[in-house]
Amino acid sequence: MTKPTVADNKPVGVELEKGKEYYFCTCGQSASQPYCDGAHQGSLFAPKPFIADKTGTAYLCACKQTSNAPFCDGKHTTVEAFVAC
């Protein structure tokens, strides 16, 4: 697998806690979207660790095409294929 799976065609709203570390799924195969559950094992993908800079709601990318991972940048509006997890 060289391209990530599109987990959804809209962002995932999540509650983040300032200072807490999270692991964003980059492969699109995780059953715990938008977070990594290890489904990338054996692929070229690895989770993207990030630390929340504030507490509150954030919209994380589920199409895996964002230029601002882990955050949604609207690219899902241009994604042609949708593959459910």
Q: What is the pLDDT of residue 82?
A: 53
Q: What is the mean pLDDT of residues 55-66?
A: 96
Q: Are strands 21-24 and 56-60 parallel, antiparallel or unpaired?
A: unpaired
Q: What is the mean pLDDT of residues 3-8?
A: 91
Mean pLDDT across the chain: 92
Distance CA 41, CA 10 (A): 25
pTM for the structure as a whole = 0.88
Question: Half-sphere exposure of 17 toward its Cβ, with a 13 Å CA cutoff?
Answer: 3
Query: pLDDT-based confidence at 78, cuts 50/70/90?
Result: confident
CA angle (6 as vertex; 81, 4 as ends), nearest 5: 115
Strand partners, 58: 14
